[in-house]
């Protein structure tokens, strides 16, 4: 069973719908015990980084961190990916998981502060996540902060400079775009993750 | 590069797409779920479903329609029309919409924008503005209730307020151009796009590929929406995107 973690932020229906469509058993849950038993974990997220404080308070953080420690595949989407880092300028008081180093930051002032729409990726680094995906794929983004440059990046995007759009470290993955809203390409990314 | 979005709009009344539809290879040309899927497969970047049911009792079907359309749609999906409260919005999200569009209710109670944004995120809130050029021609005024009710509210000022209150995008319809196929109102679009930092979706007046080129180039639109030209097959989404690409407008093509 794939756990789609509900920490009270945003709308998880579309993620569940995509995983259902791919034929994988999944459940939306806010119960740390359920998350601890999951075969893989998806942490979606939209909105403000401060909302991730609920992950800490609810005991979900320990459940997620324990599962990752046991080798359970994990995928953070959008703010869920940002949470994998140490923190974000969006909410300095809120700690991330800290699995990856650095702090999420704003886009520079020469572009609109929200990166919204379809943009193409540079996926030249070989990765599990983009297996079977053609080069320069278009995916759907909607975010105002981005993760810092890091060595686990497997896809880059260009908006106010080059920034990491996907990270991959062993069985831990993060995508800044929304695979559940990125058509066939997004479904292939989810299929790759869900089949691990 | 961030691309310009082409959005296909479905006007739905009592669970059926209206405005006349001529889609090939569909069992039921007026079914919103089938049309949404067909548009997605032919290259639409996003689907907007507007419930234009005038009669209240006909609205009951909308959640079922949204659910059926969302089940097979894996691109952004916005639903608008008749959303009056946070509860209405929550029901539409639960049915599978990614964003909701609000117009009349937001003008009546601008705090509704903030309430929905706080609960579901700004990216999920599209404020729709129906704008009409003022009689003396110097500005545009916002209208509600499908364009039937004037508010006297300046459309550009309202756009700025909507952004401040938490709107994630603006769907800007030119009432002067809507249904004319004479091109988007680039002047209106440019005025609004220049005064906010959130994406502006231009709507009203699409008649051919050149109109999209103009609204992206001269109107500074981030996205453009059309309904009838796609339904009537006057312009296929693929042909439109190829034409835009040929004129150096960045688009998601091939998808």
CATH number at residue B218: 3.20.20.70
Most B CBs within 10 Å, among A44, A116, A136, A190, to test the B interface: A116
Cβ atoms B99, B77 nearer than 8 A: yes
Note the pLDDT tens digit of each residue in B64-85: 999 999 998 999 999 999 899 9
Inspect the interface and report whether the beta carbons of A182 and B70 lie closer than 8 Å: no
Chain A residues whose CB is inside 8 A of the B94 CB are 13
User: What pLDDT sits at residue B225?
Assistant: 97
Q: Are B111 and B162 in contact (CB under 8 A)?
A: no
Q: Which residues of B are catalytic, by number?
A: 11, 130
pLDDT of A33 reads 97
Check residue B20 and give its pLDDT: 44
Query: 10 Å Cβ neighbour count for B197?
Result: 12
pLDDT at residue B59 tops 70 = no
pLDDT > 80? residue B58: no
B74: nearest CB among A112, A115, A183: A183
> Would you place residue B14 in the very low, low, confident or very high pLDDT band (cuts 50, 70, 90)?
confident
pLDDT score at B22: 44
Q: What is the pLDDT of residues B89-134, one digit of tens each?
A: 999 999 999 999 999 999 999 999 999 998 899 999 999 999 999 9
Q: Rg (Cα) of chain A, in Å, rounded?
A: 15
Q: How far is A168 from chain B (nearest CA, A)?
A: 23
Q: Which residue has the higher pLDDT, B232 or B40?
A: B40
Segment A21-32 mean pLDDT: 97
pLDDT tens-digit readout, A138-186 = 999 999 999 999 999 999 999 999 999 999 999 999 999 999 999 999 9
The answer, yes or no, to whether residue B86 has pLDDT greater than 90, is yes
What is the pLDDT at residue A85? 98
B120 with A114: Cβ contact below 8 A: no
More confident residue, B229 or A80: A80
Rounded to 5 degrees, φ, ψ at A8 are 85, 5
The alpha carbon dihedral of A91, A92, A97, A103 has a sign of positive
Q: pLDDT band for position B23 (50/70/90)? A: very low
pLDDT exceeds cutoff 50 at B21 = no
SS3 A116: strand
pLDDT at B145: 85
Contacts of B43 in chain A (CB under 8 A): none
Token pair for A99 = 């699995």
Catalytic residues of A: 78, 178, 180
In the predicted structure, residue A14 carries a pLDDT above the cut 60: yes
Contacts 24+ apart (CB under 8 A), A90-99: A90/A48, A90/A49, A90/A50, A90/A144, A90/A145, A91/A48, A91/A49, A91/A50, A91/A53, A93/A50, A94/A49, A94/A50, A94/A52, A94/A53, A95/A56, A96/A49, A96/A52, A97/A61, A97/A64, A97/A65, A99/A68, A99/A169, A99/A172
**CATH code for the domain defined by A2-194:** 3.40.50.880
Closest to A115 (Cβ–Cβ): which among B2, B45, B70? B2
List CB contacts (< 8 A) between A183 and chain B.
Answer: 40, 74-75, 255
Q: What pLDDT, on the 0 to 100 scale, is given for residue B28?
A: 59
Q: Which tokens in the block code for residue B218?
A: 């001269």
Contact B199 A116 (CB under 8 A): yes
Find residues 146-175 of chain B whose CB sits inside 8 Å of chain A. 168-169
* CB-CB under 8 Å, A118 with B98: no
Q: Does B71 touch chain A (CB under 8 A)?
A: yes
The shortest CB-CB distance from A13 to any of B1, B96, B197 is to B96
Q: Does B197 touch chain A (CB under 8 A)?
A: yes
B169 close to A117: Cβ distance less than 8 angstroms: no
Nearest beta carbon to residue A181 from set B4, B76, B120: B76
pLDDT of residue B233: 65
Q: At what angle do helices B32-41 and B62-71 cross, to 10 degrees?
A: 30
pLDDT tops 60 at residue B26: no
Our CA angle for A47, A102, A110, nearest 5°, is 60
Question: Which one of A11, A115, A184 has the shortest CB-CB distance to B124?
Answer: A11
The per-residue pLDDT for range A51-105, each reduced to its tens digit, is 999 999 999 999 999 999 999 999 999 999 999 999 999 999 999 999 999 999 9
- Which residue of chain A has the CA closest to B72? A21
Does residue B22 lie in a domain region? Answer: yes
Q: How many domains does chain B have?
A: 1
The confidence score (pLDDT) of residue B229 equals 83
**Is B195 within 8 Å of chain A by CB?**
no
Picking from B86, B93, B121, B170 by the largest number of A CB atoms within 10 A of its own CB, the best residue to mutate is: B121
Residue B252 domain-assigned (yes or no):
no
Does residue A130 carry a pLDDT above 70? yes
Q: Quote the domain boundaries for residue B63.
A: 5-246
């Amino acid at each position: 069973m794939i756990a789609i973690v509900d920490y009270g932020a945003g709308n998880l229906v579309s993620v569940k719908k995509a995983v259902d469509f791919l034929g994988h058993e999944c459940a939306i849950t806010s119960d740390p015990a359920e998350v601890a038993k999951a075969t893989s974990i998806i942490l979606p997220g939209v909105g403000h980084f401060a909302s991730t404080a609920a992950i800490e308070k609810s005991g979900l953080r320990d459940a997620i961190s324990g599962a990752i420690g046991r080798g359970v595949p994990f995928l953070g989407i959008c703010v869920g990916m940002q949470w994998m880092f140490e923190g974000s300028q969006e909410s300095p008081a809120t700690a991330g998981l800290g699995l990856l180093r650095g702090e999420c930051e704003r886009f520079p002032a020469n572009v609109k502060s929200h990166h919204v729409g379809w943009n193409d990726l540079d996926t030249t680094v070989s990765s599990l996540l983009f297996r079977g995906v053609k080069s320069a794929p278009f995916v759907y983004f909607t975010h105002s902060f981005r993760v810092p440059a890091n060595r686990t990046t497997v896809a880059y995007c260009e908006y106010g400079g080059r920034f990491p759009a996907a990270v991959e470290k062993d069985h831990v993955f993060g995508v800044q775009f929304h695979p559940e809203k990125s058509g066939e390409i997004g479904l292939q990314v989810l299929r790759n993750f869900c089949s691990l | 590069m961030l691309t310009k979005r082409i959005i296909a709009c479905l006007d739905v009344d009592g669970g059926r797409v209206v405005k006349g539809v001529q889609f090939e290879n569909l069992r039921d040309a007026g079914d919103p779920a089938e049309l949404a899927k067909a548009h997605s497969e032919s290259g639409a970047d996003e689907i907007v479903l507007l419930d234009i049911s005038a009669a209240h009792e006909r609205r009951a079907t909308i959640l079922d329609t949204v659910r059926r359309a969302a089940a097979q749609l894996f691109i952004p999906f916005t639903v608008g029309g008749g959303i009056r409260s946070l509860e209405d919005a929550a029901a539409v999200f639960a049915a599978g919409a990614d964003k909701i569009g609000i117009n009349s209710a937001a003008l009546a109670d601008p705090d509704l924008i903030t309430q929905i944004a706080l609960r579901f995120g700004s990216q999920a809130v599209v404020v729709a503005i129906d704008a009409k050029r003022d009689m003396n021609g110097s500005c545009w005024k916002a209208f509600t209730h499908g364009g039937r009710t004037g508010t006297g509210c300046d459309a550009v000022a309202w756009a700025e307020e909507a952004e401040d209150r938490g709107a994630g995008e603006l769907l800007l319809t030119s009432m002067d151009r809507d249904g004319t196929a004479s091109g988007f109102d680039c002047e209106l679009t440019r005025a609004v796009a220049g005064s906010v930092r959130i994406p502006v979706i231009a709507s009203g007046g699409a008649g051919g590929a050149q109109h999209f080129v103009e609204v992206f180039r001269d109107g500074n639109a981030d996205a453009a929406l059309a309904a009838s030209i796609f339904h009537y097959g006057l312009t296929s989404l693929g042909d439109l995107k190829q034409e835009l690409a040929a004129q150096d407008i960045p688009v998601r093509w091939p998808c």
